[in-house]
Amino acid sequence: MDIRNRIEIARSILTNAAKMNVSKEILLKISRKIDKYVVEYYRECGIQVKKDNKNGGG
């Protein structure tokens, strides 16, 4: 499965979880997984990823 499909599936899971009123902790875990997939996608495409020190992201 390519990274774009993983991102789309994870986004769908996150949307459905939010609609089902899943706990914030689980939503956060799913969201972080999506973030990792997006960073991986950018790296594959050769796009520079800037770290965000304010939110601990990157």
> Is the pLDDT at 53 greater than 60, yes or no?
no
* Domain-embedded: residue 55: no
Span 15-38, average pLDDT = 97
**Domain housing 28:** 3-45
The answer to whether residue 56 is domain-embedded is no
Q: 52 in a domain, yes or no?
A: no
For residue 11, the model assigns a pLDDT of 97
Mean pLDDT of 25-43: 95
Average pLDDT of the residues of the chain = 88
Residue 23 lies in a domain: yes
Contact predicate 5/29, CB 8 Å: no
SS3 annotation, the chain: CCHHHHHHHHHHHHHHHHHCCCCHHHHHHHHHHHHHHHHHHHHHHCCCCCCCCCCCCC
Q: What is the mean pLDDT of residues 36-40?
A: 94
pTM of the model: 0.75
The structural domain count of the chain equals 1
